[in-house]
Homo-oligomer: A and B are copies of this chain.
Amino acid sequence: MSLGRDIKKTKPFDALEQEAMLNLARTLDVLAGEMVAEVFKPADLSPTQYNVLRILRGAGEPLACGEVADRMIAREPDMTRLLDRLEKRKLVARSRTKADRRVVSVRITDAGMKLLAELDPKVLAAHRRQLGHLGERDLKELIALLEKARERPSA
């Protein structure tokens, strides 16, 4: 009965997977590009820097560098200099931990919180303009599919 995919069925199906990947990349590029142009660039922040600030605000307490790295959306291979740039602008502050002197603790400063607070409404507005027309039903469906895409069965 179930013969699995034969040659004839495999080709168009593979094309579907490829099309999904292409659409994923294209969609993110469009949406992220607009977000950068409208919100991040005027604030002279990269998406990565914004991500760090969001993580630190969300944590509600200082985090180790590595802990921040683990929570990033995209893997960051050079947390040190990323934090250097934020620290230079006084948006975050670093300090060695007393307990474990290998660890550098990072916290968001008041200036960082203030910047995020200014950005919040712009980010929300941009998100709504970009995805608001999908409606709650489609958004939930999209989120579910994206999560499912990441959680593949074994490996």
A16 near B: Cβ within 8 Å?
yes
Cβ of A31 and Cβ of B23 under 8 Å apart? no
Contacts of A115 in B (CB 8 A): none
A6 near B: Cβ within 8 Å?
no
A78 near B: Cβ within 8 Å?
no
A24 near B: Cβ within 8 Å?
yes
Cβ of A152 and Cβ of B133 under 8 Å apart? yes
Give the complex CA separation of A21 and B30 in angstroms: 11
A61 near B: Cβ within 8 Å?
no
Contacts of A44 in B (CB 8 A): none
Give the complex CA separation of A12 and B31 in angstroms: 20
This chain's copy number in the assembly: 2
Interface residues of A in 1-33 (CB under 8 A from B): 13-14, 16-33
Residue of B nearest to A35 (CB): B21
A59 near B: Cβ within 8 Å?
no
Cβ of A31 and Cβ of B24 under 8 Å apart? yes
Cβ of B139 and Cβ of A17 under 8 Å apart? yes
Cβ of B149 and Cβ of A130 under 8 Å apart? yes
Cβ of A127 and Cβ of B27 under 8 Å apart? no
Cβ of A148 and Cβ of B138 under 8 Å apart? yes
Cβ of B133 and Cβ of A25 under 8 Å apart? no
Chain A residues engaging chain B, CB cutoff 8 angstroms: 13-14, 16-33, 35, 73-75, 123-124, 127-134, 136, 138-143, 145-150, 152-153
